[in-house]
Amino acid sequence: MASKTLDTDATSASPSGKTFLGHPRGLATLFMTEMWERFSYYGMRALLIYYLVSGGADAAVGSQGGGLAMKATTATAIYSVYVSMVYLMAYPGGWFGDRVWGARKTVAIAGFVIMSGHIALAVPGQAAFFLGLLLVALGSGLLKANISTMVGQLYNGPEDPRRDGGFTVFYMSINLGAFVAPFVIGTIGKEYNWHLGFGLAAIGMALGLTQFLLGSRHLNPVSSEVPNPLLPEERKRLLKKAGLTVLGVAAFYGVVAGLGVYTLNWALVPLTIAGLLIPITVLTRIKRDKDLTADEQSKMSAYIWFFAAAAIFWMIYDQGGSTLSLFADKKTADSLFGLGFSATWYQSLNPLFVMAFAPVFAWLWLWLSRRDKEPNTIVKFSIGLLLVGVSFFVFIIPMTMADNGTLVSPLWLVSIYLIQTIGELCLSPVGLSVTTKMAPRKYASQMMGVWFLAVTAGDCTTSLLSLAGVSLNGTGIIAMQASLAALAGFAIFTYRKKVQALMGDVH
C-alpha cells in the first residue's frame, strides 16, 4: 500500500484527487485505454497473416477458407509493411500532438480511427480490408506517440519518485492486452469466422475509446494543451503541400489504374522503399545539423550503430507474426499434452514471457550494478542480437524435421519465442533508455520517434525480400538472417571501445 505522502503527491497531478494503486487516478484511464487498444491491435495482428493466405496454396490443409488466397511471400510483404507503417506513423503522430491537436484530442481521434479500421476489416472484400489496414496503422501511430506523453504528465516532473513505477504499471497494460487477444480474437477469427474476429477487435477499441472519453476528466489538464501550435502561415503552407501531395498520388495511381497495369506491388514497393529511405533521411538530417555541438555529433555517430543493430533485430523478431506463424499453422502439431489449440495462441507467448521475465531482468541489472558487474549498453545490445540470431539457428532444426511432412512439437516454437523475448529484454528497454540519453537537445522530443523508425527499417527489409520473391520459409534464408544478426552482435562487441568513446559520458 502506498504511503500517505505518496497519495498526497498523486492528487496534485490528478484533478479528481483520486488515486490508482498509489498513482494519479488518470493512470487507470490510460491503463484501460491502452489495454483495450493493444487487445484490438494484437488480436487483429494474430489473424492477419492467416487471413491473407487463407484459401490459397500456402494455407494449412483443413484450415478455414474465405481469406484473400495470397502467396506466403506476398502475405509476408503486406504484414511487414503494415507493421512498419504503424511505427513509422508514430513519428508524425507526436508532431500532431505537439503542434495541432494536443495529446488528449489526438488520442481520442486516434481511437476513433482505429475502431473505424477494425470495422472496415470486419466487412468482406479486398477494398474494405486494405482501407481497414490503412486506418488501423494511421490511428495506432497517432495513439502510440501521445498516450505515453499523457502518462508522464500525471506526475510532478521527472524527479517524481512514482514516475518509473507509473510507467511500469502502464507497460503491463500493453502486455496484458496483447496476451489475452490471441486467445479471444485469434481463436474466434481463425477457427470460426475471420470477420467476426475483426469485429471483436473493433469492439475492443470501442471499449478503450469509451473508457478514455469517460475518464479523461482525471487526466492532467495540460494534456489538452497544444505545446507548440502551428502559426496560421505554417498551417496554410502545410495544408497546401498536403493537398498537392494527395492530388499527385491520386493522379498517378489513377493513370496506372486507367492503363490497366495496376497490381498490388504498385502500392507495396513504394511503401517499402519509403520505409527504408525515411529512417536514413531522418538520421542524415540530424547528423548533418550544424547546430549540434561536437559532443552531440559524436553521440549521434554512436547512435547510428545502435539504430542499425536494432533494425537487424526487429527484422528477425517481427517475423514471429509472419514466418513463424505460417510454420506454426502448416508444420507444427496443434496439440500439446492432449490439449488442442489454435496457432494464433503462439502470439500470446511473447507478452507472457515479457510479464514473467521483465521484473527478473530489472532485478538482475540492479544486482549486477551493485557489484559493479552490470554489462554496459553496448554489451546488452550485442547479447540481444546474438540471441535473436540463435533463435533462428534453432528454427532451422524443426524446419529440417518438417521437410518430410512430419508435424513438429509446439515446444520448438515455444523455445524460439522464449529466446527472442530474452533478446528483446536485453535490447529494447536499453534502446529506449540510450535514445533519451544520447538525444541532441534540439531533437529531444523527436528522438523517441527516431527509435521507432528502426522497427520500420527492419520490417521493410523483410518486405523487400518478400517482394523480391525470396521465400522466408527456407532454411537457407533463415540461416542467412541468423548469421547476419550474430555477426552484427559480434561487430558491435568487437568495436565496443570505439563506440563507447563516441558515446562520451553515456554508459
DSSP state for residue 184 in the 8-state scheme:
I
The verdict on residue 253 lying in a domain is no
The verdict on residue 451 lying in a domain is yes
Question: Which of 172, 206, 229 is the last residue in one of the domains?
Answer: 229
Asked whether residue 200 falls in the same domain as residue 289, the answer is: no
Asked whether residue 435 falls in the same domain as residue 385, the answer is: yes
On whether the CB atoms of residues 19 and 162 are closer than 8 A, the answer is no
The verdict on residue 212 lying in a domain is yes
Domain count, the chain: 2
On whether the CB atoms of residues 369 and 298 are closer than 8 A, the answer is no
Asked whether residue 213 falls in the same domain as residue 279, the answer is: no
Asked whether residue 189 falls in the same domain as residue 312, the answer is: no
Asked whether residue 370 falls in the same domain as residue 423, the answer is: yes
The verdict on residue 372 lying in a domain is yes
The verdict on residue 295 lying in a domain is yes
DSSP state for residue 404 in the 8-state scheme:
G
Say how far apart CA 184 and CA 505 lie, in whole Å: 47
The verdict on residue 1 lying in a domain is no
Asked whether residue 358 falls in the same domain as residue 212, the answer is: no
Say how far apart CA 485 and CA 313 lie, in whole Å: 7
Domain CATH for 359: 1.20.1250.20
Asked whether residue 330 falls in the same domain as residue 396, the answer is: yes
The verdict on residue 264 lying in a domain is no
User: How many residues comprise the chain?
Assistant: 507
DSSP state for residue 408 in the 8-state scheme:
B
In tens digits, the chain (507 residues) has pLDDT values of 333 333 334 444 455 556 766 788 888 899 999 999 999 999 999 999 999 999 998 888 888 889 999 999 999 999 999 999 999 988 888 888 888 888 899 999 999 999 999 999 999 989 999 999 999 999 998 898 788 888 888 887 666 677 767 777 888 888 999 999 999 999 999 999 999 999 999 999 999 999 999 998 888 888 888 888 888 898 899 999 989 999 998 998 899 888 888 888 888 999 999 999 999 999 999 988 888 888 889 989 999 999 999 999 999 999 999 999 999 999 999 988 888 899 999 999 999 999 999 888 888 888 988 888 888 889 999 999 999 999 999 999 999 999 888 899 999 999 999 999 999 999 988 887 788 788 888 776 678 788 889 999 999 999 999 999 888 888 999 999 999 999 999 999 998 888 888 887 776
Segments in 13-102 forming alpha helices (H)? 26-53, 72-99
Question: Which of 229, 256, 287 is the last residue in one of the domains?
Answer: 229
10 Å CB burial of residue 94 (0-12, 13-18, 19+) is buried
Asked whether residue 112 falls in the same domain as residue 215, the answer is: yes
Asked whether residue 328 falls in the same domain as residue 213, the answer is: no
The verdict on residue 250 lying in a domain is no
| Residue in this structure with the C-alpha cell 508532431, named with its chain if needed | 95
Asked whether residue 301 falls in the same domain as residue 434, the answer is: yes
Asked whether residue 167 falls in the same domain as residue 275, the answer is: no
Domain that holds residue 127: 9-229
10 Å CB burial of residue 242 (0-12, 13-18, 19+) is exposed
Question: Which of 167, 200, 229 is the last residue in one of the domains?
Answer: 229
Asked whether residue 220 falls in the same domain as residue 279, the answer is: no
